[in-house]
A and B are shown apart, each in its own frame.
Chain A
Amino acid sequence: MSWFYQAAALVLLVSMLLSLFRVARGPSYADRMLAAQLIGTSGVALLLLLAAAFEQSALRDVALVFALLAAVSGIAFTRVAKSVKE
């Protein structure tokens, strides 16, 4: 199964790369932020797959922290952002 997990992790990395185009292009603040949100969730899935592929249980803790803290920057954005793009 390890080969499959690794291939799946690669697919996720490619999908994260694609989401980055939305971060770069915008155009609104919300667009960039929601792309970052998608990248964060993909990161959680990627870490879980890597943990299974290499049987490193510590990576699941990293995924746990990712999942817990993915919200911080998104919330900070909605709370402090100027609501309109000048």
Chain B
Amino acid sequence: MAEAMGLILNGLSLLLIGLGLAFFMAGTLGVLRFSTPLNRLHAVTKADNLGLGLVVAGLILQAGSWALVFKYLIIWALVLLSAAAVSHLIGQRAYQQTRQTESGETP
């Protein structure tokens, strides 16, 4: 019984971490392929929030103690917080710049 549980947990971890990696890859491809800075920013936020979130979720299933679970959650929350703030700020700069180039082209 316990063995079966372990197998199921392992399978779930593999699935979640794999999904997380897929999000990281998708984010990277978006950063490379999308055409404007704001679109690229959109791709980055997906990788930041969901990619890391899924990897952390996969690792939590393997964590041996509640203290470790708590630590994983703190790290994820920190990245969520700072990614949200920094993406917003970079977005402001990118937006200003887009507007300036547009108004430059059509005087």
Direct contact between the two chains A and B in their complex (CB within 8 A): yes
Binding site for B on A (CB under 8 A): 1, 4-5, 8, 11-12, 15-16, 18-19, 21-22, 28-31, 33-35, 37-38, 41-42, 44-45, 48-49, 52, 60, 63-64, 67-68, 70-71, 74-75, 77-78, 81, 83-85
Complex Cα gap A22–B87 (Å): 16
Closest 9 CB pairs of A and B: A74-B86, A71-B82, A30-B94, A78-B89, A67-B78, A15-B28, A41-B48, A45-B55, A18-B28
Question: When the two chains form their complex, are residues A44 and B75 in contact, meaning their CB atoms are under 8 A apart?
Answer: yes
Question: When the two chains form their complex, are residues B31 and A78 in contact, meaning their CB atoms are under 8 A apart?
Answer: no
Given A41-B52, A45-B55, A60-B75, verify A12-B24 contact (CB < 8 Å). Answer: yes
Complex Cα gap A8–B90 (Å): 29
Bits for B25-52, please: 1 = Cβ < 8 Å to A, else 0: 1011101100001001100100110011
A-B contact pairs, 21 of them (CB 8 A): A1-B13, A11-B25, A15-B21, A15-B27, A21-B32, A22-B40, A29-B93, A34-B40, A34-B87, A37-B90, A42-B24, A44-B75, A45-B24, A48-B56, A49-B17, A49-B59, A52-B62, A60-B71, A67-B75, A71-B86, A74-B86
Complex Cα gap A30–B79 (Å): 19
Complex Cα gap A52–B56 (Å): 11
Asked if B74 is at the interface (CB within 8 A of a chain A CB), the reply is yes
